Structures are given as structure tokens and as C-alpha cells.
Amino acid sequence: MNAVTPFEGIGASVKRKEDLRFLSGRGQYTDDINRPGQAYAYILRSPHAHARIAGIDTATAAAMPGVLAIYTGADTAGLGSIPCGWQIHNKDGSPMAEPRHPMLAEGKVRHVGDQVAVVIAESRAQAKDAAEAIGVDYDVLPAAPTLDAAQVPGAPLVHDGVAGNICYDWHIGDKAVNDAAFAAAAKIVTFETTNNRLVPNAMEPRAAIGDYDTTTGEYTLFTTSQNPHVIRLLMGAFVLQIPEAKLRVVAPDVGGGFGSKIYHYAEEAIVTWAAGKLGRPVKWTCERTESFMSDAHGRDHITKCSLALDANGKFLGLRVHTQANMGAYLSTFAPCVPTYLYATLLAGVYTTPTIYCEVTAVFTNTVPVDAYRGAGRPEATYLLERLVDIAAAETGIDRVEIRRRNFIPNDAFPYQTPVALQYDSGNYTATLDAALQAADWAGFEARRAEAAKHGKLRGIGCSTYLEACGIAPSAVVGSLGARAGLYEVGTIRVHPTGSVTVLTGAHSHGQGHETTFAQLVADRLGVPVAQVDVVHGDTAKVPFGMGTYGSRSLAVGGSAMFKAMDKIIAKGRKIAAHLMEASVEDIEFDRGTFRVAGTDRTKALAEISLAAYVPHNYPIEELEPGLEETAFYDPKNFTYPGGCHIAEIEIDPETGKVSVVNFTAVDDVGRVINPMIVEGQVQGGVAQGIGQALLEHAVYDADGQLLSGSMMDYTMPRADDLPLVGVATHTTLCTHNPLGVKGCGEVGAIGSPPAVMNAVVDALKSYGVRHIEMPATPAKIWGILHAGRKLAAE
Amino acid sequence: MYDFAYHKPASVADAVKLLSADPDARPISGGQTLLPALKHRLNKPSAIIDLSGIAELRGIRREGDKLVIGALTKHVEVADSAEVKSAIPALAQLAGTIGDTQVRNRGTMGGSVSNNDPAADYPAAVLALDATIVTDKRRIAADEFFLGMFTTALEPGELLVAIEFPIPEKAGYAKMKNPASRYVMAGAFVAKTKSGVRVAINGAGPCVFRQTEMEQALTANWSPDAVASIKQPADDLNSDIHGSAEYRAHLVTVMAKRAVAAAG
């Protein structure tokens, strides 16, 4: 029994267990949940980017049919601020500006979509009807919706107490050493760029249900979250002052997050608090239009950078100044994204000996900006990989060759970068070579010539990227300003007859954890995947957890499970020793079988678990009954996936449209548990990366209105925008976690944008193009070609 | 959406009676424009007159040298119709590129033409093919029908019943899609008809319009080269975050060239 087929363990492309319910419409998402007596919340949002609220008249609305309550900032002013989970310090050591982030606006609105009032009614339509009848007297103020607008002298102040709209002014690196490197440089290449603002757009909009048990005083929040325990901590402790024991947070099936569902949002606090006030469950479901103006956005940097090189094209130093848009309020992880998830990545895969980076974070009258798939690493990678291509062009060194000359060599690991990180493993030459071969880089010029015959401009580009996953360890991130630990929790519960329930603090919202984690158990304990149930997303079931983001679930959460399995095996050996009358030291364990070494005497895991739960013949004096173990795993370091992405694009010069005709990804994500899932993760990430490079752009006008505020104007990638993405992996193992895994959730979105843009610039090199800003829309490309033609005609 | 009354008449006469009796009532066919507007509370009709039960509004038939298409005919039906494919292949091809599968299975020709969205596909075909719009009251020439952005010659309470397309000698359509919405950014429908060569431009301006300079050039020489150097003035063309008026003007020429090539 319990004989596991070898195909279910580590390395097997096991079909995703969760897909049966997802693909047959039987998932249970937050909006699918309805509580008895449930009422509905509708949130009245600001139509203005910046205004003082002179008054709110709710009298008419309150008298409308079905209305149970209307709350404004006056009702919630005594409650806590929506907290920020990370505190950055300025260059002078003082803490960042951290203005209050109210659940409901208090006297002032700061972005279009800022929540002004909530109507709770018997039906959603009644709540909406009543919201329209609320009279808000706005005194509209000039807005500062962009980094530039917020920093001009005399710019409108988003928060009255935050001078110059500066949240923080931070730096990393040794400026004097950096200056010296630049002084000695043979060549300095400079570059300025904007990393375009993005709207995450998970398929499932956010939703939340607050419930309150008047008999026990217990609150329950059902929410579309990537980390329910973190929400419980943030909302319970900082906003509503509800002790953990009286607050359960459930994040059931969640339809995509990409970061946007990490954060604690005001709506979660509003429905929980209102449920307590009314003694009735309160449901809120976001509409897509609302998502655009209330989900945290991503990216939005303006950066100036310089690269110092010696005469042979060796990088001597990198100097970066970045302005990062925080939006109107600090979202949960916002301050760490352009600092510890960005500036620390600026070494990339290169031996650049000195790096100095300054970051100015700025408040604007826009939706808050926070981590979005990649979070800081795509911005760093884009900057670096575009800069390297520009450096290649301006030194006349081949762009692949200049990368090779600067790679961290294979024998240099562990490698300490000048920006805090220590890389444990990697082989950048191997992933580069594999990608060049898979993409037929050598044969490209023939394809370019062939495309030219058909009037098309073809280009090819690569990026050799590195990223950092599983942000850790807790003590280090704590010293850098994190207000939480970054470990993970795993419980392995072996049931009496040998099936297993895994409780994990990681949260799956599309990643396939229920399969991958089951494979870890199958591989180690020999239990078939079908008999392993993975439970996540409920603070009442899972002991604790920090959730899923930063590609941490397997590296951190999987390692916690591994540690818990260590404990299961250790206890199992003692039970087996007792049952087989052998010494514990003589008990070997392999995939579900305990064996007395050198004999044919064995006990299956199910026999051990049965003995543990029916302890008739059991070492009861030494061991507790039962077979369940929990481990908290705190990583020793980040993990460092890396690799090479190659994009081949074709431009229709008549329309300016860029088509990605071929995309090759060769990634080192450490040990691969399920190759099919890794391939899907990389492809999904590449889709979002191509989206950033060619399509997506959140654009605000001067008044702070979001011009790309719906799918009519915000270009999400669609199937016909994307090529078949060839995915391969080349593995070097992570040296510091027990699984050797690194993470694969974000590599696609990190490596691909510069590969695409390097290809676009390559296609246009005959036009003298040095750089093109993302997204490379048809109109933008046509504008360049048109200007080029005019130039040629003159 | 706001509350509204709902009626489902079985005849054009009954539908017109309901519409005439209530100026705030709105007819609905596929609902591809009206339904999103209702959901966004941008429209507050007193009543919705659902036309889907009116059999006489359906169907595609050949009448001599004309193709008559009922107002309620769905895009997918036009795209798949053997009759349309053989008589006016460019029209079937156009219908097959409207929106996506879901839109094509709901949206109707009558709904699209009545709505006259500047970025819709059908108005270009109707205008270039010199079609006649048949209503419950009268017949309207295409040249007289499209008056401006979302504005047509239809009177309040007047219902588009069918569209008659004279079968052209040749016709072709090409468009550049808006990258986000996939509506038309600039499109050209070209046709060699009994009444001469006609070129209709959609997407680029506030309303579909005829490009007479291109018509003259194609009359003299029916070839892509004939229009390749004709520049569409950018004045009065649309400009937005997806492209300037100059870009759209440029696309008009490119799409006209491609439409002629497609027509053969």
C-alpha cells in the first residue's frame, strides 16, 4: 500500500488537482459565498483626484428603500489607520513620512476612487441607488497626479504635513567609492527612462464579506487575499483593535493576485467593522471599473542612470537615481518595492564593483502603487538590461559579448554584491548559451533579411536577468524596516490510515500549490498525490502564515513543509523502532517505508500512523500519540533565480505594430518540482512582461483622471498578442534551503520586458534609435518611423 | 442598472407602437452597446423594447442584384452566410472581425448601424456599398443616414428593419484595431459599385465618411498604388491616448491601400 508511482514525486508534470473545480466552474470564490442575513455594501468613491470635503449630506440617501446604514469618515475617524508594513529611513536616518490612511476619507480626498462613504443596504442595487443620492460638497483642489507634477515648486500637497510630497529620500552604496570609479572610467554611458505604470487586473475582482457573531463576539472576514494571516494581523491589531482569537480571516479560492491582493485594503476593514455595528454580514464586491481606481497599481518610476566602463567594456560602476510614485497613500509593502526589492538588484548578473542608488519616493494624487508581479526587480532588470544594450551599442562591443565579459563567473559563488545581497548559486553562461541556441540567435540576420523582403523590420533582443525571491531572513528584513517576519509555516498531519493533510501559510491563487505541495509529500513520504490534501487560506485552520508573494511559497513554505516532514520521519522512526523491536539508529526511511537497516523487516507509513493514533502497542512513556508536526522555517537568504530571455519581434512599418514572433526563456529556478507548472508560470509571467513592454499603460491626465480607466483604453495582453513561449530550465540548486528550489512565479515578468524592448530597438537601429519607452505602441513606433522618414527626406 | 419596464413585442408594428408611445423607451437587439451603458448607469430608459421576438427582422436573402439583411441578423450569421460570402465576401469578412466570438454571437447589424459608433465596422460597409436603410416608415440612402457621432437619420420611434446592399463588382475592407478596445482605430471599405467607386473611412473621424479623392483615384486606376500617395487630412480626425489625428490620417491611406488589395 501507499506505493507511489515514481511519476508523482519531484520532477513529475502531475496534472493540477485544483483544475477540476476551477475549469468546471465549481471553485468557491469570495463572491460565491453568501452568509445568512447578508447585507450589501457599496462604496461611494471620489470623482476628483484632490478635493476638500466641505460636507456630506446623507439624509436623502439614508431614507431610501433598503438602506441599513451609511457611514462616512466621521464615523470611522476614531479607528486606526490602514497600516504600512515597511518603514524606510531617509539618508539622514529619519523615518519616512507616513501620513494617516483612513478607511473612509476624512475631510479630503486624494485620488479618483478614494472611498468617501459606504452605503449598506438589503441589496446591492439599493446600496448603489442610495449612494447616488448622497450629496458630497467637494472643494476641488489642483492635483499632482504625476512624479513631475508633484515635485515642481509649489506643487499641491497630497498630505498637508508632507513637505514637497516626499515620502522618503533613501540611498544605498558608497558614494565616494562610486564617484572614484566614474572618475577613472574610460567611457560613461547615461540613460533616462520611465518604467510605465501598470494596473494588475486579476481575473477575479476583489471582494470581502464581514461577519460578526453577536453571541461570541467573533468576527470573520472572507476576502480575496494572498495572505489571510497578515490581513488578520494588520486589520485586527492596527485598524479595528480586534484580538486574533476573535478574528478569523478566510481567503478561499482566489482568482489571481499578481501582488494586488497582498495588501490590506480599506474595504476589508469597512465590511468587518460594519458587520459588527449592524450585527449582520456585509458583502462588498468590486466592479471592474472600481478595480482600476482602487486596486494598487504597479511600477511607475522615472530613473536616470550612468554606467562607467573601462576600455575593454568591463563595468566599473553604476549610478542610479530613481523617483518612485507611491500614489496617494502608502499601501502595505509600497516603500520597500523601490528600495530593498529594487536597488539591491542593480548588480544583476554582473561583477559591477560599485553601485550607488538614490531613491526619492513621492506622494501623488493617484491610486497607491505597490508590488506587482516582480515588484522592483522588473524595474531594476529593465534599467540594467537596457543600459547594457545601450553600452554595447556605444562601445561597439557585441551585446552578447559585453554581457559575457561582465558575468559573475561560475566559481565566484557565494558572490557578495555591492548592494547588500549575497548570491548563493547560478550559472549565467549556461542559461545564456542555451537560450542563444534555442532562439537560433546565430541565424537571426538571415531572418532579418527575409523579413525585410516582405517590408518588415525584424529585431532580436536578449536579457540576462537575475531576481531575488523569498525575501528573508526575518532578522535582516526587520533591520531594514519590515514590520513583520518573513518565515513560513507548514503542518504535516498524517492521518491514522496514512493519508496526509498539509496546512500551509502560503496561499494559492492560481499557482497550483495543491498539486506542487502534494508532490513534495508524495516524493518524501511516499503518499500518493491523490491522498494529500493541501489546506490554505484560513486562519482558523492553518496555525500561522505570511502568505504568497515574491515567489516565496515553495522556497519558504515548501521548506517549512520539508522541516515538518523531518519531524514526522523522526517520530515515525521511533515508533517503527518500537514496533519492530529495533534501535532507532537502525531504522531507515525511504518514501513511505521504515526499514530495519540490512533486513527485510519494514513498516509502511500507514502502519506507523495507525499505531500513533491507536497506541495499543506504542512507546507511550516516551512519545505522545498522534502523527502531526508543524515547522516554522525562516530562510537564511533570498533565493536567486536567473536566466536569459530572448525576444524576436517584427514591426509593420506601415502601422507601427510590433508583433512578438518568437520568445525563448531559459530560466534557472532551482530544483523543478513540476515542470508543467513551471512552464505555465513562466509563460504567464512573460505574457505580463510583453504586456508591459508593448501594451499596458496607466495614464493620468493633468487633473488626475485615469484616462486608461477601463478595458476600452487599458490594453491587457490577449492571446493574439502573444507568441508561443518556449520555456526551458537549467538548474543550479539553491544552497541554503532543503529543497534546492528558487522560485518561478515572477521570472517571466522580470526577464521579458527588456528582451522585448532590446529587440524593438534592434529592429529600428537603422533609424538611429537609441531608446524607446515602454509601451512600444503602434502609434509610438509609427511616430519614430515617421520622424525618421521625414529626416531622411530632408 | 436602474429599473426599467421590459417589453418583448412580436411584430415591428407592435415595437414601433411601444417606442412611439414612450420617448424614453429604448429598443434593444444584441445589447452590445446598450447593456454595458445600462450596467454603468449611463443610460436610464423607462422601458426596454426587446426586439429579439420579431421574426420579420431576421434573415439574409438575395433579391436580384441586392442582398437584403434583416436588422436582427447577428454578426456571426453574416460572417458564416454562404449567401453573403458569395455575393459580397468583403462584408462577410468584415462581420467575422467584429469584436470577439461573444460579441459576434450577440451583436446585430441593425443595432450597430443604428448606433453609428464612429469606431464600429458596419457603417463603413453600408456607406461604401451604397446600401439602403429600410425602416418601418421609409427607405434612407446610406449617404443620408450617418449624420454624426452616434447620430443617424432615424427619427425617435423609427426602427431600422433591414439593410439592402447592392452587390458590388468588387469590395474590400481593412482596418487597424485599437490595441485596447479592438474597435476600429482607422478602417477603409472600398467598393466598385454600379454607382461608381466608393471609399468609406471609419474609426478615424467622429463619423464614418467618404474619401472622395481616393474614389476619384480608384475610378481612374483600381489598384493599391492609386491610393498609396493620397494623404488624408488630419483635421477633424480623432486623437486620443492610442494615437494622434496624424497617425490616424496616415492609417487611412494604409488601410485604403490594403482594402483595395483585398478586393483584388
Are B241 and A783 a contacting pair at CB < 8 A?
no
What average pLDDT does the segment A557-583 reach?
98
| Alpha helix stretches (DSSP H) within A106-164 | 124-132, 147-151
Q: Which three cell numbers stand for residue B84?
A: 453573403
Interface test with chain A among B100, B103, B181, B184, by most A beta carbons within 10 Å = B181
Are B40 and A711 a contacting pair at CB < 8 A?
no
Looking at CA atoms only, how far is residue B15 from chain A in angstroms? 29
Band the pLDDT of A436: cuts 50, 70, 90: very high
Looking at CA atoms only, how far is residue B251 from chain A in angstroms? 7
Question: Which chain B residues are closer than 8 Å to A125 by Cβ?
Answer: 1
Q: How far is CA B176 from the centre of its chain?
A: 16
- Is it the case that residue A788 has pLDDT exceeding 90? no
Are A708 and B180 a contacting pair at CB < 8 A?
yes
A340-373 core/surface letters (b: 16 or more CB in 10 A; e: else): bbbbbbbbbbbbbbbbbbbbbbbbbbbbbbbbbb
User: Does residue A779 belong to the interface with chain B, where contact is any CB pair within 8 Å?
Assistant: yes
Question: Which of A665, A648, A668, A675 is CA-nearest to residue A751?
Answer: A665
Last residue of a domain, one of B49, B64, B79: B49
Looking at CA atoms only, how far is residue A127 from chain B in angstroms? 12
What average pLDDT does the segment A313-327 reach?
98
Residue B103 counted as domain residue: no
Q: Which residue has the cell 527575409?
A: A450
Are A786 and B179 a contacting pair at CB < 8 A?
no
User: Does residue A782 belong to the interface with chain B, where contact is any CB pair within 8 Å?
Assistant: yes
Are B181 and A655 a contacting pair at CB < 8 A?
no
Q: What angle do CA A451, A457, A459 make, to 5 degrees?
A: 95
Are A655 and B244 a contacting pair at CB < 8 A?
no
Are A654 and B254 a contacting pair at CB < 8 A?
yes
Band the pLDDT of A792: cuts 50, 70, 90: low
Residue B72 counted as domain residue: no
The three state secondary structure string of B127-189 is HHCCCEEEECCCEEEHHHHEEECCEECCCCCCCEEEEEEECCCEEEEEEEECCCCCCEEEEEE
Question: Which chain B residues are closer than 8 Å to A714 by Cβ?
Answer: 180
| CATH number assigned to the domain covering A6-27+487-633 | 3.30.365.10
Are B241 and A714 a contacting pair at CB < 8 A?
no
Cβ neighbours of A613 (radius 10 Å) = 16
Are A713 and B242 a contacting pair at CB < 8 A?
yes
What average pLDDT does the segment B126-138 reach?
98
Q: Residue B23 belongs to what domain range?
A: 1-49
Interface test with chain B among A129, A655, A718, by most B beta carbons within 10 Å = A655
The string of pLDDT tens digits covering residues B175-199 is 999 999 999 999 999 999 998 999 9
- Is it the case that residue A388 has pLDDT exceeding 70? yes
By C-alpha distance, the chain A residue nearest B175 is A655
Report the pLDDT value the prediction gives residue B37, as an integer from 0 to 100.
94
Report the pLDDT value the prediction gives residue A5, as an integer from 0 to 100.
52
Cβ neighbours of A163 (radius 10 Å) = 9
Residue B22 counted as domain residue: yes
Task: Tell me the residue type at A337.
Answer: V
Question: Which chain B residues are closer than 8 Å to A788 by Cβ?
Answer: none
Looking at CA atoms only, how far is residue A293 from chain B in angstroms? 15
> How many Cα atoms within 13 Å fall on the side-chain side of residue A396?
2
- Is it the case that residue A4 has pLDDT exceeding 50? no
In this complex, which of B2, B41, B241 lies closest to A713 when CB atoms are compared?
B241
Are B254 and A695 a contacting pair at CB < 8 A?
no
Q: How far is CA A262 from the centre of its chain?
A: 8
User: Does residue A707 belong to the interface with chain B, where contact is any CB pair within 8 Å?
Assistant: yes
- Chain B contact residues (CB < 8 Å to A): 1-2, 40-41, 176, 179-181, 183, 240-244, 246-247, 250-251, 254
User: Does residue A780 belong to the interface with chain B, where contact is any CB pair within 8 Å?
Assistant: no
Domain A301-471+637-793 has CATH 3.30.830.10: no
Cβ neighbours of A130 (radius 10 Å) = 26
ipTM, 2 decimals?
0.95
What average pLDDT does the segment A765-788 reach?
94
Q: Say what percent of chain A tops pLDDT 70.
A: 98
**Domain residue extents for chain A:** 6-27+487-633, 33-141+203-256+261-294, 301-471+637-793
Tell me the CATH number at B228.
Answer: 3.30.390.50
Q: What angle do CA A679, A682, A684 make, to 5 degrees?
A: 105
The string of pLDDT tens digits covering residues A328-379 is 999 999 999 999 999 999 999 999 999 999 999 999 999 999 999 999 999 9
Are B247 and A782 a contacting pair at CB < 8 A?
yes
In this complex, which of A289, A657, A779 lies closest to B242 when CB atoms are compared?
A779
Are A655 and B40 a contacting pair at CB < 8 A?
no
In this complex, which of B176, B241, B246 lies closest to A699 when CB atoms are compared?
B241
Report the pLDDT value the prediction gives residue A2, as an integer from 0 to 100.
44
The string of pLDDT tens digits covering residues B65-80 is 999 999 999 999 999 9
- Is it the case that residue A732 has pLDDT exceeding 70? yes
What average pLDDT does the segment B79-97 reach?
98
Band the pLDDT of A220: cuts 50, 70, 90: very high
- Is it the case that residue A145 has pLDDT exceeding 80? yes
H/E stretch holding A269: helix A266-278
Phi, psi angles (nearest 5°) of residue A181: -65, -40
Are B251 and A699 a contacting pair at CB < 8 A?
no
How many domains does chain B divide into? 2
Question: Which chain B residues are closer than 8 Å to A713 by Cβ?
Answer: 180-181, 240-242
Question: Which chain A residues are closer than 8 Å to B244 by Cβ?
Answer: 779, 783
Same fold, A33-141+203-256+261-294 and A301-471+637-793: no
Q: What are the angstrom distances between the C-alpha of A20 and each of A15, A250, A252, A408, B80?
A: 10, 22, 16, 44, 34
Cα Rg, chain A, nearest whole Å: 27
Question: Which of A233, A285, A230, A226 is CA-nearest to residue A260?
Answer: A226
Contact between B25 and B149 under an 8 Å Cβ cutoff? The reply is no
Q: What is the DSSP string of A474-487?
A: HHHHHHTTBSS---
Looking at CA atoms only, how far is residue A201 from chain B in angstroms? 14
Are A715 and B180 a contacting pair at CB < 8 A?
yes
Topology adopted by domain A33-141+203-256+261-294: Aldehyde Oxidoreductase; domain 3 (3.90.1170)
Question: Which of A729, A128, A751, A767 is CA-nearest to residue A430?
Answer: A729
User: Does residue A702 belong to the interface with chain B, where contact is any CB pair within 8 Å?
Assistant: no
- Give all strands of the β-sheet with A135-140 in edge-to-edge order: A108-109, A51-57, A135-140
Tell me the CATH number at B22.
Answer: 3.30.43.10
Are A713 and B180 a contacting pair at CB < 8 A?
yes
Report the pLDDT value the prediction gives residue A787, as an integer from 0 to 100.
87
Question: Which chain A residues are closer than 8 Å to B251 by Cβ?
Answer: 655
| Bridge partner residues of B227 (DSSP) | none
Looking at CA atoms only, how far is residue A486 from chain B in angstroms? 38
Are B41 and A128 a contacting pair at CB < 8 A?
yes
Q: How far is CA A686 from the centre of its chain?
A: 14
Report the pLDDT value the prediction gives residue A790, as an integer from 0 to 100.
63
CB–CB contacts below 8 A, A to B: 50
The string of pLDDT tens digits covering residues A519-561 is 999 999 999 999 999 999 999 999 999 999 999 999 999 999 9
- CB contacts under 8 A, A 714-733 vs B, are 714-716
Question: Which of A289, A287, A738 is CA-nearest to residue A523?
Answer: A738
In this complex, which of B41, B180, B254 lies closest to A655 when CB atoms are compared?
B254
Question: Which chain A residues are closer than 8 Å to B183 by Cβ?
Answer: 712
What average pLDDT does the segment A182-205 reach?
97
Report the pLDDT value the prediction gives residue A304, as an integer from 0 to 100.
98
Q: Residue A49 contacts by C-beta under 8 Å, 6 or more apart in sequence?
A: A109, A110, A111, A112, A143, A145, A365, A366, A700, A703, A704, A705
In this complex, which of B176, B180, B244 lies closest to A712 when CB atoms are compared?
B180
Helices A747-763 and A675-690: crossing angle, nearest 10°? 50
- What's the rounded Cα separation, in Å, for the pair A191 and A322? 12
Report the pLDDT value the prediction gives residue A7, as an integer from 0 to 100.
75
> How many Cα atoms within 13 Å fall on the side-chain side of residue B102?
2
What average pLDDT does the segment A456-463 reach?
98
Residue B106 counted as domain residue: no
- Give all strands of the β-sheet with B47-50 in edge-to-edge order: B5-7, B47-50, B25-28
The widest CA-to-CA distance across chain A, in whole angstroms, is 96
What integer best gives the mean pLDDT of chain A? 96
Are A778 and B40 a contacting pair at CB < 8 A?
no
- DSSP code at position A784: H
Q: What are the angstrom distances between the C-alpha of A768 and each of A276, A763, A774, B86?
A: 64, 10, 18, 48
Contact between A642 and A668 under an 8 Å Cβ cutoff? The reply is yes
Residue B224 counted as domain residue: yes
What region does A654 belong to: left with phi over 0, alpha with psi -120 to 50, or beta? alpha
Are B241 and A128 a contacting pair at CB < 8 A?
no
In this complex, which of B180, B250, B254 lies closest to A711 when CB atoms are compared?
B180
Q: Which residue has the cell 538590461?
A: A385
